[in-house]
Structure 1
Amino acid sequence: MLYGILAAVTSLLIAALLAALFRGLGLRAGVFERRPQGSARRRPVPLLGGAAVLAATCLVAGAGEWTGVAPLGDGVGGLLVAGAAVGALGLVADVWRLRARVLVAGTAVAATCVVPYDRTGVPAGILAVGWIVFVTLAFRALDHADGVAGTVGVITAFGIGACAAGEVMDGLAVLLSVLAAALTGFLMHNWYPARVGLGACGSLFTGFLLAASGVFTRAGYGLGEGAGVLFSLTALATADLVLVAVSRRAGGRSLLRSGADHLGHRLRRLGLTPQGTVVLAGLGAFGAVLVGVLAHTGWAGDGAVLWVVGGALVVVLLLLRVPVHPVHPVHGHRRVPVHGPRRGASTQVTEHATGRLRVRSG
């Protein structure tokens, strides 16, 4: 217990320090995106905060394993290595950009390597691989607004950590508490207006670690009840990805292009402030995760999980009715219309992911 508290505090401090250091590095290297602030302004947000989360988690958890003070246990060390590999792939995507299919394939390979087939069986193990990939991409998509992905990640990590503790998986529980602490340190710099972002590195690493840890804790349980608990533990991220997929499919838009049609964007259009959006998303995630933990430990029945599924479905259907303005970047660029000085004239600014602007008069 004492080591767990010490490890969490250390992870928080390391992540907070590294996030501050990586912010300047990201600005100098041009690894940032521009996010809206107010009605017209757009601010640069470096994308290396996820690297701070990954480094803090691996350093602290790895130190516990190396010293033998807090060994991660069977398979958990491999899970951390696979998660770090997925995070490294995300870092490459942040810096040089990769096709979405490469990220999906890399995540699928990593998931295939960590699923405990001896406890799940091969058919359920294959489904688990698909689930890990789905949740990992869901957390990647959840990183669309300041504070949302980090807040939901902290809540989910504590929930799955509680499930792991209930299964006497102490090493996995410590790993998840270290991850939650690292995300908390990162959130010190990510609350609106964010000074650093999670990026593909942090969001993929977080999503993979959480999804795979959930599979570890539910391995050996029935497929139906296991799926219900796993959905509850990741309900908000799952609902966001389903919302975007249904919306874009109905509108004939590409599923792989970014757009202002996520859960956070729609809540903002309903009048919520950026901070209010994070709080509401956090409350939704907390309620669903609490049900998942109670169902896992036997304090709640299957009916409680069905309430979470029904609630997520209602949220998706209601938010589908909120109008959005999708953004379609071309080859990693965003086009922002800017009115020129002459009446009827306009200038189109093409903004590259590195922050450099190209201006073309029309």
Structure 2
Amino acid sequence: MRMYLLLMGLTFATSYLLTPLMRRIGLKVLVEAPLRDRDVHERPIPKLGGVAMVAAILLGLGAATQIDFLSGSFRDPGPALGVATAAVLVLVLGVADDVWDLRWYYKLAGQTAIGLVVAGSGIRLEAMPVGWIRLPDGPMQTALTVLLVVLTMNAINFVDGLDGLAAGMAGIGAAAFFVYCYTLSRTINQFDHSNFSAMLMALLLGACLGFLPHNFHPAKIFMGESGALIIGLLMSVAAIAVTADVGAQEGYRFRNVPAYMPILLPVAVIMLPLLDLALAVIRRTARGRSPFSADRGHLHHKLVDGGYTQRQAVCLLYLWSALIAFGSVSFIFKQLHTGILLTVWGLLLLGAAYLTLHPWIRRTRSR
């Protein structure tokens, strides 16, 4: 655990210290987010914060290769090299989009190339976690891997609409995912607690927490495209890698770790971004518009329009993220009584639902 905390601290410090530098560079070269009808900020803000996050993650990944405790994660150097290469492509694509505002099909092509790099490095979805249905080797595994990477990237991108929202939600999700992956590593191997997915989540958590103080309302800088893409990349890679970890441990899969967790937890971690993505695609398609066109119909926009301040809306979405992600993780601990856990979780979800709908309930009562 101490080595993972060390990596978190390294990426936190790097991200925290580099972000002001990227802000100054962003102001100097005018890489900033202009005001649009759907925006909630009141002045143009630089959007190169994701560069600091990517740099912190690459530095942390390099440092991890020198830590003996994590040597088990690098026996096959392919996945780590693939993640590093994909992160560099994220940096190039993200900065290009922030500077030139690329058209959606160029961004989709770039995201697909990133997914292909991931699949080519050996990180592929080899089995469906529910029922453990083995996928045939070759094009199907590659296609599903690319689809998962691209889908997760766009889900994170869609939710990046309020100060601190994407970084905070990603940090919460990374923390929950880290707990799961670390617990899994201790369960399946009592001698080697290194885990590739746990390491990636430690890096992501540190980078998000280091960036968040500069991005929380009122934001001094935005993460931009590179920040959203690196979050989506690490989340999807960790989900695929941990699925392979669990699938390889037949003797432990049902006895110690719920078989549904490898697919439930990654979905739970990005549940709100995925829901927002699905609703946006339905909404825009129904209006005859491209699913990639921008509008002001996202969940966070609805909360602000309903009467919440930016900070209140962000904290409310943090609450939902924490309840869904950590609520899902809690089921892996055998010592917790399932009935009591479900009751407490259900009550907390009802409380969060009431807080979410409170402005509309109050308006209805006042009529």
- Which category of TM-score, normalised to the shorter sequence, fits these structures? 0.7 to 0.9
Counterpart CA distance in 1 for 2:294 and 2:179 is 34
Post-superposition offset of 1:148: 0.6
Secondary structure at 1:188's aligned position in 2?
helix
Secondary structure of the corresponding residue to residue 230 of structure 2: helix
Name the % identity: 27
1:14 aligned counterpart, secondary structure: helix
Report the count of equivalent residues.
309
Give 1:269-280 correspondences, 5 Å limit.
Answer: 269-280=305-316
CA deviation profile, 1:222-252 (whole Å, cap 9, x unmatched):
9976543332121011011112112212223
TM-score by length of 2: 0.74
Give the Cα–Cα distance (whole angstroms) in 1 for the partners of residues 125 and 301 of structure 2.
42
1:290 aligns with 2:326: yes
Cα distance in 2 for partners of 1:276, 1:40 equals 14
Aligned partner letter, 1:43? R
**SS class of match (2:114):** helix
Q: Deviations over 1:181-238 (max 9, x none)?
A: 1111111110111000010011111111111211211235499765433321210110
Aligned residue for 1:165?
182
Deviates more, 1:121-130 or 1:247-256: 121-130
Moved more, 121-130 or 143-152: 121-130
CA distance, structure 1, for counterparts of residue 292 and residue 124 of structure 2: 31
Moved more, 63-72 or 96-105: 63-72
5+ long unaligned stretches in structure 1: 323-362
Distance 2:211 2:281 in 1: 28
Summarize deviations over 1:296-315 as a string: whole Å, max 9, x none: 667779xx8xx99xx9xxx9
Deviation at 1:15, TM superposition (A): 0.8
Show the 5 A alignment for 1:97-108.
97-108=101-112
Question: Per the alignment, do residues 63 and 224 of structure 1 end up closer, same or farther by CA in structure 2, a change over 3 Å counting?
Answer: closer
Partner secondary structure for residue 153 of structure 1: helix
CA pair 198-66 structure 1, distance change in 2 beyond 3 A: same
State how 1:237-252 maps to structure 2 within 5 Å.
237-252=273-288
- Report the counterpart of residue 146 of structure 1 in structure 2: 163
Offset at residue 112 of structure 1 (A): 3.1
Judging changes above 3 Å, is the alpha-carbon distance between structure 1 residues 284 and 7 closer, same or farther for their aligned structure 2 residues? Answer: same
The alignment status of 1:230 with 2:230, answered yes or no, reads: no
**1:280 offset after TM fit, Å?**
0.8
Aligned pairs for 1:189-268 (under 5 A) are 189-219=214-244, 221=247, 226-268=262-304
User: 2:188 maps to which residue?
Assistant: none
Contact 1:80–1:209 (Cα < 8 Å) also in 2: no
User: Equivalent residue for 1:342?
Assistant: none
* 2:131 equivalent in structure 1: none
CA contact (8 A) 1:189 1:196 kept: yes
Is the 2:115–2:149 Cα contact (8 Å) retained in structure 1?
A: yes
In 1, Cα distance between the equivalents of 2:33 and 2:124? 40
- 1:118 is displaced (CA, Å) by 7.9
Give the TM-score taking structure 1 as reference length. 0.75
Q: After TM superposition, what 4+ stretches of structure 1 lie above 4 angstroms from structure 2? A: 66-69, 220-226, 295-301
Give the CA RMSD over aligned residues. Answer: 3.2
Say if 2:97 is the partner of 1:93.
Answer: yes
Aligned partner of 1:112: which letter? L
Higher helix share: 2
1:174-185 to structure 2, matched below 5 A, reads: 174-185=199-210
Following superposition, the deviation at residue 287 of structure 1 comes to 1.5
Taking the aligned partners of 1:148 and 1:99, their CA distance within structure 2 comes to 24
2:87 to 69, 83, 86: 83
Which structure 2 residue ranges, 5 or more long, are not aligned? 128-134, 186-193, 248-252, 254-258, 361-367
Contact 1:215 1:230 in 2 (8 A): no
Partners of 2:201 and 2:91 in 1: CA distance: 16
**For 1:249 and 1:142, how far apart are their aligned partners in 2?**
18
Partners of 2:40 and 2:82 lie apart in 1 by 46
Contact 2:165–2:314 (CA under 8 A) maintained in structure 1: yes
Separation in structure 2 between the aligned mates of residue 51 and residue 158 of structure 1, nearest angstrom:
21
TM superposition shift of 1:154? 0.2
Deviates more, 1:178-187 or 1:96-105: 96-105
Q: 1:160 to 1:196 in 2, by over 3 A?
A: same
CA distance in 2, matches of 1:171, 1:228: 19
2:197 and 2:239 in contact (8 A); partners too: no
